Chain A
C-alpha cells in the first residue's frame, strides 16, 4: 500500500466514524418526532400526509406494520414492472428503447423494490430516462426508506416500556420521514458533489460523436448523478450505467470514489448509534458498532492483502488502483450496496471470497440501511440466548426475555437467506439452464453461481459479472432469492419486535447478562463468524479456496 492508498482508507474510515454518531442521534430525533434542524420541512411533511390520507399518529402493531409494508412493496413491484414493460409507450425515452422482456422486467422490479439492485440489464443500453428516474430511482429511495422504517419499528418494539399502549410506530410516517429528512437532503448534497467531479446529469439525448480516428459513436448521458447519489446512500447499488461505478461517468475521480464509498457506509454506520439512542443505552450501540467495525476491518485487511499480493488490474480502473478497488469491493458487500468500481469476477480468489462471504454472513457487518441493524439483531438474539444461559439466567436482551418465539423467528430470519443461497446454487449447478450462464471454468464457475444467489438472497446486487444472468432461469430464481431474502428476514424480525414489545421489562441486576460489554461483543463476534462460517465454508472450499490453492500451484484453467 502506498501513501495515497492509506490516505484514502483513513479518510473514508475516519470521516464515517466521525459523522455516524451525529447522524445517528439526528435520526433518533427525526423518528421520535422531536425537534431537529430540518424540522422546517414539517409543513411539507404534513402536506404529504394530507394528500395521501395518512394519519401519522396512528399507531400500528407489528401485524399492521407488516401488512402495510408488504402491500406497499408488492404494489411498488407491480407498478415498476408495468413501467419497465411499457417504457416504449412512455415519455422521456430519447433512445426509443422498447419495453423489457417480462422475466427481466419482473427480476428488475423485484430487484429495486427489495433494495437489491441486481441488474441483469445494462442501463444505458436498455432503459429510458423515465424508467431510470421515475421507476428505479424512486424505488432506490423507497426501498431504502422501507428498510430504515422496519429497523426503527423493530427497535421501538425492543425499547418499548411496560405499560405503554404504543405500537411499533406508523409505517407511512416512518417512510416519509426517512425520505424527507434523511435520504433526500443527503442525496441532494451528494449529487451536486458528484457532478462537480464529472458525473453527468442531463435530460438531453445521447450525444453523437466522431472519434479522433474518425469513427462514429454515441455518448450516453442522463440524469445520472441524482440517481447515483441515492444508489450509494440507500445502499441500493444499481448503476445508472452498465459497468456501475467503474464507468467514468458514474465515478470519474478518486475523490468521487471516496464520496461514493463514504455515502454507502454512512447511514449503516449511523444505525448502531441510532439503536443506542433509541434503547436509551448508548453503550449498546457502541458495542454493536465495534463488533461490526472489527468484522469490517478484518474483511478490509484480508481483501487488501490478497489483492495487493495476488491481484491484477484486470477489470479494475487505473484511477482507483488495486487498493481503491479492493476497499470498494468490501464496503459494497458488507453494506448490501452492491455498486462495484471493479469487476469482482476478476478479483484475486481470496478477495472475491471475502466479498462473497461479506454477503453470505447476512446483513450484519453494517448491512443495508436499516436491514443491517435487524439482520444483526437476529444474531444478537442467538448470542444473547447462549450467553444468557452461560451466566445462569433465562436469557434476556435489554430487559426483555428471549424465549421460544423470539428464537424461532430469529432462526427463520437466519435460515431463509442461507437456504436460498445453498439450495438455489445447488439447483443451478445441477441444471443445464444454470450451468449455461457460467463464464469461467473450474471452481470459478461455482463461485459465479454462489455469488449470484448470495447477492440475491443478501439483497446486495453486485455480481461475478461473467455469469450470463439475463435468462428466464436466472431472472426467476434470483428474483425469488431477492424477494424471500428481503421479506423472509423483515417479516420474522418485525415479529420479534412485536413479540418483545408485548413483554414486561425485567430490571437489571448484578446477575443480568450485560450486553454492552467487551466480553459480550467478543462472543457475538464469534457467533457471527462461526454460524456463517460453518454454513458456507464447505461450498467456499470448492470455490474460491480451491481456486486460491490452484493459483498458488500456478495452474491455469
Chain B
C-alpha cells in the first residue's frame, strides 16, 4: 500500500507543534523546576510538615481533625481528601445547605458553647482551606487545652501564640487568619502544649 504524501503545510504544523512542545512542555517546566528547587525547595515541594522524619501533611492543606486535642479547620464538602478535593457547589438558596449549616451550628455549640464564626459553618472552596478566623481559633482554645490537660499558663501562652500568628498574618492585603495546620503543628512540636498527650 502506498502511503499518500503528507501535504507540506500539515507537516509544517506538526513540526511547529513538536518544537513548541519541546520548548514549552519540557524546557520551560524544567527550568522553572530547577530554579524553584534551588531557591524555594520547601515551598516547591508542598510546604510539607515533617515530624520525626515522617511527612504528617502540608501546612497549606487542611486535614480532618476529630479529636478535641486539635484545632479544627473549616468544614470540607469532600471530607478533606487531598486528591479529588472540592466544594459542595450548593446554590445560595439551597435548602440542603441551610440544613447542613444548622447542623454545623448545633455541633459547634455542643463542642464550644458559642455561636460559630461564619467560616466554620460553610464548607470551603477547596475542601482543604487551612485558615480560620482568630475568633474561631480562640473559641477552640479552652476545649483543646482541656483535652490536652494544659496548665492555665500554657493555655494563656497558646492564646498568645494565636494572637502572635494573627498579627503576623496582618498586612496591607489579606485577611487576618490563623493557619490551623501550623497551630496544630505547634501543639505537636512545642513541649509547652504537649500536655498529657502522646503523639500518634
Contacts and interface: CB of A to CB of B under 8 A. Distances in A.
Interface in B1-24: 9-10, 12-17, 19-21, 23-24
Interface string A226-253: 1101000000000001110011110011
9 contacts: A4-B175, A72-B16, A137-B28, A192-B39, A201-B32, A219-B46, A220-B83, A248-B58, A465-B86
The 10 closest A-B pairs by CB, nearest first: A254-B174, A134-B25, A466-B89, A246-B125, A444-B91, A248-B60, A226-B32, A314-B122, A201-B36, A556-B95
Interface in A94-134: 122, 124-125, 133-134
Given A211-B57, A249-B60, A318-B132, A192 B36 contact: yes
B55 A209 contact: yes
A223 B16 contact: no
Contact of B173 (A8, A134, A465, A550): A8
Interface stretch (A48-56, A406-414, A500-508): A48-56
B47 A346 contact: no
A68 B12 CA distance: 10
B200 A213 contact: yes
A404 interface: no
A200 interface: yes
Contact of A211 (B13, B60, B64): B64
Contact of A317 (B32, B39, B129): B129
A466 B91 CA distance: 9
Given A315-B87, A547-B91, A137 B45 contact: no
B91 A345 contact: yes
Interface in A179-211: 179, 184, 187-188, 191-192, 195-204, 206-211
A255 interface: yes
A133 B29 CA distance: 7
A346 B92 contact: yes
Contacts of B144: none
Given A197-B43, A254-B173, A315 B58 contact: no
A529 interface: no
Nearest to B8: A53
B26 to A, nearest CB: 6
Contact of A440 (B33, B37, B94): B94
A179 B20 contact: yes
A138 B25 contact: yes
A254 B169 CA distance: 10
Contact of B28 (A187, A341, A466): A187
Contacts of B55: 207-210, 219
A348 interface: yes
Contacts of B125: 243, 246, 315-317, 325, 340-343
Given A209-B57, A243-B127, A315-B124, A138 B20 contact: yes
Contacts of B171: 4, 254
Interface string A341-366: 11101111100100000000000000
A247 B16 contact: no
B89 A223 contact: no
A208 B56 CA distance: 9
A340 B21 CA distance: 26
B70 A212 contact: yes
A320 interface: yes
B155 to A, nearest CB: 20
A480 B126 CA distance: 29
A184 B28 CA distance: 8
B94 A48 contact: no
Interface in B70-85: 70, 74, 81-85
B111 interface: no
Nearest to B11: A53
A43 interface: no
Contact of B88 (A191, A223, A248, A314): A314
B93 A550 contact: yes
A293 to B, nearest CB: 22
A188 B31 contact: yes
Nearest to B170: A4
Contact of A212 (B17, B31, B39, B184): B184
A188 B23 CA distance: 13
A42 interface: no
